[in-house]
């Protein structure tokens, strides 16, 4: 399992960014081992693959930038079944064409 420092180095970001991902729920899945957050490398890889912004990616197909898609995914991940109000909140995040 990877530590916060190792995930930061692996993803090319600061440890502060990894901690922010933990706080906002936008990062890869993490596990508590004692008092430490740990990550499975295959899950970090899968999370990175899901953040692709190239042609054919979720962001590209939906016409969104990666940051907006990440916000939507973080919101939706907490919803058991989206309500009409929640669907409206997602629609409001999409930039006007």
Q: How far is CA 84 from CA 56, 62, 70, 94, in A?
A: 28, 19, 20, 16
Q: Provide mean pLDDT across the span 68-74.
A: 80
Say whether pLDDT at 56 is over 70. no
Tokens of 90: 């997602």
pLDDT-derived band of residue 4, with 50, 70 and 90 as boundaries?
A: very high
Pick from 22, 18, 19, 20: which is nearest to 8 by CA?
18
Mean pLDDT over the full length of the chain: 82
**In a shared domain, residues 42 and 60:** no
CB atoms within 10 A of CB 4: 20
Residue 7, domain extent: 1-49
Confidence (pLDDT) at 96: 65
Rounded-to-integer distance, Cα 9 and Cα 63, Å: 30
**In a shared domain, residues 14 and 37:** yes
**In a shared domain, residues 56 and 37:** no
pLDDT-derived band of residue 58, with 50, 70 and 90 as boundaries?
A: low
Tokens of 78: 């907490």
Confidence (pLDDT) at 61: 64
Rounded-to-integer distance, Cα 24 and Cα 30, Å: 12
**In a shared domain, residues 33 and 58:** no
Confidence (pLDDT) at 25: 86
**In a shared domain, residues 38 and 61:** no
Tokens of 26: 């936008």
**In a shared domain, residues 44 and 79:** no
**In a shared domain, residues 61 and 76:** yes
Q: Which residue shows structure tokens 């906002």?
A: 24
Domains contained in the chain, number: 2
Q: Which residue has the higher pLDDT, 25 or 79?
A: 25
């Amino acid at each position: 399992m990877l530590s916060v420092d190792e995930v930061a180095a692996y993803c090319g970001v600061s440890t502060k960014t990894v901690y922010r991902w933990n706080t906002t729920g936008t990062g890869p899945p993490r596990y508590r081992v004692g008092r430490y957050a740990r990550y499975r490398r295959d899950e970090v890889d899968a999370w990175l693959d899901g953040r692709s912004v190239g042609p054919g990616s979720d962001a590209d197909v939906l016409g969104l930038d990666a940051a907006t898609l990440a916000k939507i995914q973080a919101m939706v991940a907490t919803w058991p079944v989206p309500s009409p109000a929640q669907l409206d909140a997602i629609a409001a995040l999409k930039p006007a064409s």
